Amino acid sequence: MAFKHTLAAALVLLAAISGAISSARAETFTIVGFGDSLMAGFGLGPGEGFTDRLQAALRAKGHDVAVANAGVSGDTTSGGLARLDWSVPDGTQLVILELGANDMLRGVSPGITEKNLDEMLAKLKQRKIAVLLAGMRAAPNLGADYQNAFDAIYPKLAAKYGVPLYPFFLDGVAGQAGLRLEDGLHPNAKGVEKMVERILPTAEKAIAWAGGAS
């Protein structure tokens, strides 16, 4: 009989602990960084990528967050659209959507890029997942017409869906040799820190906008 009482008490305690853990996890604000190599952390060491550094910066500011890395090197907006549903799990509260750089580098029509991003925003809205849209800018050597059409995509879609916009994901890093890898395209560890420093206020506002408690 004593054994039965002990077992019952242990099961009750286990259930209570499990409930507490589940509750604690439920309180953590979940963010998914969805993008290409700039999000994935191309050429960087463990813990040096954008999502890791953003998570650390947000936690240092008192936010209980978990930032998952759903970046895929070489991804285009077409690739992102194809994998969006399974790359962003249920329960995600905010997606930082960063795609379009590879479209631009490949000279993909801005109309196609806009259509793909539009569909991704629509899908996330349907799932009631908040979005912080991270913009990209076209290289000037692609010509003024292409540059103007491409650069207009992000503010246009942010306004259409009523989501916060961070105008240029590489702000503070583009054109700065000391903040880039040898390929001249991707940020190094110092560059990532600069990116996180610049985007942090917008990320905090996006968390508050999405209903995240700090």
Clarify whether 118 is annotated catalytic: no
Q: Find the catalytic residue in 37, 52, 63, 75.
A: 37
Clarify whether 37 is annotated catalytic: yes
Is residue 22 domain-resident?
A: no
Is residue 6 domain-resident?
A: no
Q: 166-213, pLDDT tens digit by residue?
A: 999 999 998 888 998 887 789 999 999 999 999 999 999 999 999 853
Is residue 167 domain-resident?
A: yes
Expressed as residue numbers, the domain containing 147 is 29-209
pTM to 2 decimal places: 0.86
Domain of 106: which CATH number? 3.40.50.1110
Total number of domains in the chain: 1
Q: How many CA atoms lie within 13 A of 89 on its CB side?
A: 7
| Cβ partners under 8 Å of residue 174, min gap 6 | 137, 168
Q: Of all helices (H) and strands (E), which one includes residue 32? A: strand 29-35
In sequence order, the β-bridge partners of residue 133 are 97, 165
Is residue 17 domain-resident?
A: no
* Cβ atoms of 43 and 69 closer than 8 Å: no
Cα separations (Å) of 11 from 5, 6, 41, 213?
Answer: 10, 9, 43, 32
Clarify whether 63 is annotated catalytic: no
What are the tokens at 203? 């990320």
Alpha-carbon torsion (146, 111, 169, 51), positive or negative: negative
Is residue 98 domain-resident?
A: yes
Q: 85-139, pLDDT tens digit by residue?
A: 999 999 999 999 999 999 999 999 999 999 999 999 999 999 999 999 999 999 9
Owner of token pair 């890093």:
173
Q: 154-172, pLDDT tens digit by residue?
A: 999 999 999 999 999 999 9
Is residue 19 domain-resident?
A: no
d(Cα 3, Cα 38) in Å, to the nearest integer?
57
Is residue 21 domain-resident?
A: no
Is residue 24 domain-resident?
A: no
